[in-house]
């Protein structure tokens, strides 16, 4: 048996080659991805995702539904097909169908579809135990279904379900089936690792056998991520000549999910050195729209699309990046419409601080950069997340600027809450040396405090305050009732986004700290 491992395989184009190869990507977010536990897209969401995949990302093919599931699925499919037809994209829309005497093919036709992906059994065990049929019976049923669908005017692709087990445990069944299928009007044969049981070495070996035995056929590989090997398995398949790879946005899919589109596209471009036609700059935006629709949160360290994957935390990395990008790889954030950031916290070095100061347009001497770094490390030891918005105040503290540099101060405040009554707040602010006092009631203590501050700014200072966009509260893992509380608030002032954080054992006090930071920021705008 040949082996993927132990070989040095270089897929880069050779000198003199003017073109690279091409891998055809099929995104099945709307079909296989919707099998994620708890995920059900509305018809409007399905149409929106279709537009994002085809118009924005330029995905070559998408699989949008399973035939005969429900009346709602039919209406979604029909709306997608109508839109795709109006935009000349109908041949890129595919639907899953079954060996059911032509019912699936008829369903796809009535929905306006052009392409059906018929599901057949790729292993003898599935054939005998799930269908209760002998191989010859299933062979005959599948061949009739393919011919009938083709005669209805549909383009036919074929899913070999559980192929990964079939190619290992029932080769005679599989190859006999393929010999019958290879001359039928099937455009693509889709090799499914349905249970996610293969490793890259096996994918390399068995996909290579399929490509070698049937060199004129177009093969796709459909990976599942049960062992967290979906992208690696897709790489192995592409390496031996499989022409299509299946994936989903954010790796959605049942159990551990499918191969994530972001990682597969980057892998094809950088590791296989082949083209997909997909616009990398759109991946991050589309990913987070689908995240919103699905309700499945993207991990912060998810490759390409996670919030933190282009953030350097260690100071030594920032130092290396400043010296000819020593800690950068080919996954440049700009490729994906993002930018590299340098986190501020207990691991920060002076290089990280410098990068953030430069971005803010602040220049400091070496002595003061060192002092600012020390202060950030102290805050990091208290588990506070230090942001760029905090930096000007840390700098001001280090430089011992005059008190008036912090133009807004809280002189005093009082909060009250009683059963059956609205909470109230009284606050005294000092703004540029002048004190102002107001009180207000609200739906909560923080709401009352904000309304009192708003009164001061509107009626006495005649200034507008930003709009509160988002408010989140978190505590450290395994925190008790006396744990520190982190309040994160996002504000928007005429399109300028401000993010502030406060840290305290009391949630309201932390929120007040975050609000005070915001007030000082807008004074500097």
Catalytic residue ranges: 31, 161
HEC string of 185-233 equals CCCEEEEECCCCCCCHHHHHHHHHHHHHHCCCCCEEEECECCCCCHHHH
Q: Measured on CA atoms in the order 52, 54, 55, 57, is the torsion positive or negative?
A: positive
| Tokens found for residue 213 | 């035995």
Choose among 115, 24, 26, 138: nearest CA to 67: 115
Residue 495: Cβ-neighbour burial (10 angstroms; 0-12, 13-18, 19+): exposed
As a dihedral over the C-alpha atoms of residue 475, residue 480, residue 484, residue 485, rounded to 10 degrees, the angle is: 40
Residue 264: Cβ-neighbour burial (10 angstroms; 0-12, 13-18, 19+): buried
HEC string of 270-289 equals HCCCCECCCCHHHHHHHHHH
Q: Measured on CA atoms in the order 489, 386, 401, 411, is the torsion positive or negative?
A: positive
Backbone angles phi, psi at 53, to 5 degrees: -65, -45
In whole angstroms, what is the distance from residue 121 CA to residue 113 CA?
23
Choose among 25, 37, 36, 21: nearest CA to 63: 25
Q: What is the CA radius of gyration of the chain?
A: 29
Backbone angles phi, psi at 98, to 5 degrees: -125, 165
Residue 487: Cβ-neighbour burial (10 angstroms; 0-12, 13-18, 19+): buried
Helices and strands: H and E segment counts in the chain: 17, 16
Q: Which helix (H) or strand (E) holds 448?
A: helix 445-455
Residue indicated by tokens 């169908």: 97
For residue 347, CA distances in Å to 101, 269, 327, 352, 398 come to 64, 33, 16, 9, 19
Residue indicated by tokens 């590791």: 271
Q: 61, 92 in Cβ contact below 8 A?
A: yes
Task: State the number of CA atoms in the 13 A half-sphere of 436 facing the CB.
Answer: 20
């Amino acid at each position: 048996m040949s082996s993927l491992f132990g070989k040095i395989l270089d897929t880069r184009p050779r000198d003199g080659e003017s073109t690279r190869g091409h891998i055809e990507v099929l995104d099945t977010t709307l079909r296989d991805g919707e099998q994620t536990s708890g995920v059900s897209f509305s018809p409007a969401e399905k149409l929106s995702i279709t537009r994002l995949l085809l118009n924005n990302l330029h995905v070559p093919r998408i699989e949008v539904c399973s035939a005969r599931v429900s009346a709602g699925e039919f209406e979604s499919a029909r709306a997608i097909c109508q839109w795709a037809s109006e935009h000349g994209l109908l041949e890129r829309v595919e639907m899953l169908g079954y060996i059911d005497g032509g019912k699936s093919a008829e369903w796809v036709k009535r929905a306006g579809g052009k392409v059906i992906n018929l599901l057949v059994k790729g292993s003898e065990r599935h054939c005998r135990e799930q269908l209760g049929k002998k191989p010859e019976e299933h062979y005959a049923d599948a061949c009739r279904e393919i011919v009938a669908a083709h005669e209805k005017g549909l383009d036919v692709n074929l899913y070999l379900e559980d192929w990964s087990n079939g190619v290992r445990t029932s080769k005679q069944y599989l190859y006999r089936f393929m010999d019958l299928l290879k001359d039928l009007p099937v455009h693509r044969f889709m090799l499914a690792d349905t249970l996610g049981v293969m490793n890259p070495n096996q994918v390399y070996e068995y996909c290579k056998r399929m490509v070698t035995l049937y060199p004129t056929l177009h093969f796709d590989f459909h990976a599942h991520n049960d062992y967290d090997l979906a992208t690696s398995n897709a790489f192995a398949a592409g390496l031996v000549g499989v022409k299509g790879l299946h994936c989903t946005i954010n790796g959605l899919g049942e159990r551990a999910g499918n191969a994530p589109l972001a990682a597969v596209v980057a892998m094809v471009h950088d590791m296989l050195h082949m083209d997909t036609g997909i616009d990398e700059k759109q991946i991050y935006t589309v990913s987070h729209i689908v995240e919103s629709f699905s309700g499945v949160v993207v991990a912060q360290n998810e490759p390409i699309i996670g919030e933190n994957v282009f953030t350097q935390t260690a100071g030594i990395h920032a130092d290396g990046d400043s010296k000819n990008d020593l800690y950068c790889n080919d996954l440049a954030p700009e490729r994906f419409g993002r930018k590299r950031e340098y986190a501020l916290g207990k691991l920060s070095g002076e290089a990280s601080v410098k990068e953030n100061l430069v971005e803010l347009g602040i220049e400091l001497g070496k002595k003061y950069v060192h002092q600012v770094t020390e202060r950030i490390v102290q805050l990091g030891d208290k588990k506070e997340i230090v942001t760029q918005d905090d930096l000007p105040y840390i700098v001001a503290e280090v430089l011992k600027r005059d008190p008036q540099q912090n133009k807004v101060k809280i002189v005093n405040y009082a909060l009250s809450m009683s059963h059956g009554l609205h909470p109230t707040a009284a606050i005294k602010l000092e703004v540029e040396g002048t004190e102002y006092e107001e009180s207000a009631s609200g739906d909560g203590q923080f709401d009352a405090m904000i309304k009192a501050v708003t009164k001061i700014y509107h009626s006495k200072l005649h200034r507008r305050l930003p709009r509160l966009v988002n408010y989140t509260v978190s505590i450290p893992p395994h925190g008790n009732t006396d744990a520190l509380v982190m309040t994160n608030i996002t504000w928007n002032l005429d399109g300028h986004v401000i993010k502030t954080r406060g840290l305290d054992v009391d949630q309201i006090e932390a929120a007040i700290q975050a609000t005070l930071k915001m007030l000082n920021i807008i004074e500097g705008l």
